[in-house]
A and B are shown apart, each in its own frame.
Chain A
C-alpha cells in the first residue's frame, strides 16, 4: 500500500477517536475561555501543540504573570509518553526520507499508533499514523472552535468533573492493545502493579511512569528471550 493510500486509510479508520477527540476539544475550548485566553490564542495553542492532556495541564497555571517554568515542566511530564510512542514506531517508519519523518512526527498521536499495530503488514505506518493525525487535528481544531463559541453557555463549568474522561479514553486504547496483542500481556500487567505500588508509596507522577515503564521493559525483554529460546529449542528438536 502506498503512503498516500495508507494516509487515507488512517483518516477512514479514525472515526471512533475523531468523536472522542471532539468531546475533549469542546471541553478545552470552554476551559480556555474560563482561563482567560482569547479565541485566536486558544486555536493557535491547539494548532501548534495538538495535545489534549498537555493543554489542559497548561491551563491549570494560566494566570498572570505566567509561570513559564512550571508550565514547561508540567507539559513535558504529561507529554513524556510521546517519547514511548515514538520509540515504539522505530522499526515502522523505514523507507521515508529523514526530512519527511522529522516533519510528519509532529502529528504522532496515541490512537494512531495503537491502531497502526492492528493493521496489516503491507500498510505504510508513517502514512497511516500521519493520516490518523490529520483527522485528529481537524477534530481538535473544530471542536476547540466550537467550545470557544459555546463557552458562555457553561459559565459554571467545573473542569474537575471531566478529569476522569482522559483515563477512560486511555482505557479504550489499552483494551485495543490487550485484544490485538499476539504475546502475553505480562509487561503491561506488571507495569500496572508497579504503578500501583509506587502510587501507594507516595511517589511523584514522573517516578510512577519511570518505574513502571522500566519494569515493563525488563518484563518484555525476559518474555522475548523466552520466546526466542523456546523457538530455538523447538528448531533443535525438529
Chain B
C-alpha cells in the first residue's frame, strides 16, 4: 500500500514560542557570560594572549574530528579551502569551491 509521505509533526504555537525564547536566552547568555568571565580574569598578568588564543582552540576542536571522520569528498573540499585561503585569503572563493566539491564531486569521489 502506498500513500503520501508523512509530513513533519506540527508543533503548537505556544511550544514553538517557548522553544524560540529559550534558545535566544541560551545563546545570548553564552555570548554575554564569556565576556564577563574574562573581565574577572583580566587582572591576571599575561592573561590577554591566552584569552585571545581561545577561539582558535575551539575552532580546532571542531575541525579536527570533523576532518577525521570526513569522507573523501569532504577531505578534498577541506584541502581546497585551506589552499585557497593560504594563497589568496579569499573567503568566498574558498567556501564556494569547497561547497562545489561537496555538491558535485561527492557522487564520484566517495564512490572511489
**A-side interface residues toward B, CB under 8 Å?**
15-17, 19-20, 23, 34-37, 41, 44-45, 48-51, 54-55, 58, 62-66, 68, 71-72, 75-76, 79-91, 93, 101-102, 105-106, 108, 110, 113-114, 117, 161-162, 164-177, 179, 183, 185, 187-189, 191-196, 199-200, 205, 208-209, 212-213, 215-217, 220-221, 223-225, 228
Interface band, chain B? 35 or more
Which chain A positions have C-beta within 8 A of B28?
105-106
Q: Mark B33-48, 1 if CB is under 8 A from A, else 0.
A: 1111111011000101
Give the complex CA separation of A87 and B91 in angstroms. Answer: 25
Which chain B positions have C-beta within 8 A of A169?
95
**Which of A91, A110, A213 is B48 in contact with, Cβ under 8 Å?**
A91
By secondary structure, the B interface counts as helix
**Which of B23, B69, B95, B106 is A75 in contact with, Cβ under 8 Å?**
B23
Which chain A positions have C-beta within 8 A of B49?
183, 220, 223-224
A208 contacts B27, C-beta separation under 8 Å: no
**B-side interface residues toward A, CB under 8 Å?**
7-13, 15-24, 26-28, 30-39, 41-42, 46, 48-70, 74, 77-78, 81-82, 85-86, 89-92, 94-95, 98-99, 102-103, 106
